[in-house]
Amino acid sequence: MFLSEQEVMIRDAARKVAQEVVAATAAERDRTGAWPHAELKAVAELGFLGMHIPEAFGGAGMSFAEYCLAITEFAAADAGFATILHVHNGMADMLHRYGTPAQKDQYLAAMVSGELIAAGLLTEPQAGSDTAAFRTMARREGDSYVLNGSKQFISNGNEAGIAFAIAAVTDTPEGRKGPSMFIIDPRQPGYTVTRVESKMGQRSAQVAAIQLDNCRVPAANLLAEEGSAYKRLMGTLSEGRIGIAAVAVGAARAALEAAVKYAKEREAYGAPIIHLQGVAFDLADMATRFEVAHTYMLHAARLNQAGVACAKEASIAKLFASEIAEKVCSDALQIHGGYGYLSDFPVERYCRDVRVTKIYEGTSHIQKVIIARNL
């Protein structure tokens, strides 16, 4: 797909820092689960922690297509790191869209600089796709809200300097209202990290269980009006899903490039194995899947950027990209033979990292439901 000069510039800038800074430490962070402090600082200096945010607030002011191109590059270096960026940038954009001037002045610059890394507290232990089953509550007490509930699978939750929590508001004069969103300082009493999960992949992107136990939040930290959280979130679902498609596409590209490189270097029967028809055909299939997923992801991104309602296209992009990415990564491992199964080669990490793209931001089954409803 044709890219503008600006899009190429942003893609190349993201690729440079992703390969020089993020990829260089990806294997070690996968092994240890270490949080990428230095890497986040490096990308913050180039504007990648405020990709959606206008330059007036210190951000990069990228279009959504430019953002997806950048996420793809970071995912090609480390899909977990790309997830950290995706979550953080999504929360920064939410604050910029719906926050009050005072909220933006207090938090936005620190988010863009990386001083505050953001987490979004949405999923609960008993409720993921079924948002109607959420149980976290908020009770108004004077000039504060008191939040109680459990949140699960919270990306960045244990490292967050700022958190955006969804809770149902109770005891209003009109009765219970729909869920609202609150800005929480995780350093305050009542925000407790009860567990950091041990995961199959994306180990750079740490995931935590969070307990909100009489967590007191100033009323000034209500984001938008009471009862509007789902409405606001629904308006950003397409962007979130296209962003995960970009993560999947980036991981698929990394696997494809690794497979081509290995096939050119590995010899069997007196020649590089890329000359074996079976290997060549596998690589051709991988390249085809990647190119189609990449092109459709950008198509969906451009629709969203233009303000076109694109729930179906966003779900198609995420469903197709995540499904083919798992296949491309698996085929890349197969082409490596026994070496692909060793941690000395990155393809086994790509296989583990990409699997979750079929789960978060809506499972593949949920995407099929959305697509079918829009037919």
* Nearest to 317, CA basis, from 245, 371, 369: 245
CA distance 309 to 356: 26
Kindly report the backbone phi and psi dihedral angles of residue 162, in degrees, each rounded to the nearest multiple of 5, phi listed first.
-150, 140
* Nearest to 157, CA basis, from 117, 190, 125: 117
Q: Which of 124, 326, 348, 361 is catalytic?
A: 361
Residues ≥6 apart with Cβ < 8 Å to 9: none
Residue 346, helix vs strand vs coil:
coil
Measured distance between the N- and C-terminal CA atoms of the chain, rounded to whole angstroms:
26
Contact between 318 and 312 under an 8 Å Cβ cutoff? The reply is no
CB count in 10 Å sphere of residue 275: 14
Active-site residue, 361 included: yes
CA distance 46 to 154: 26
Taking every pair of Cα atoms in the chain, the longest distance, rounded to a whole number of angstroms, is: 81
Contact between 250 and 75 under an 8 Å Cβ cutoff? The reply is yes
46: exposed, middle or buried (Cβ count in 10 Å: 0-12, 13-18, 19+): middle
Identity of the amino acid at 68 = C
Q: What is the DSSP string of 122-140?
A: --BTTBSS-GGG---EEEE
CA 206 to chain CA centroid, Å, is 12
DSSP-derived letter for residue 360 is T
Name the pairing type of β-strands 162-170 and 118-121. parallel
365 is written with which tokens? Answer: 């089954």
Q: How many helices (H) does the chain have, and how many strands (E)?
A: 12, 10
Give catalytic residue positions.
361
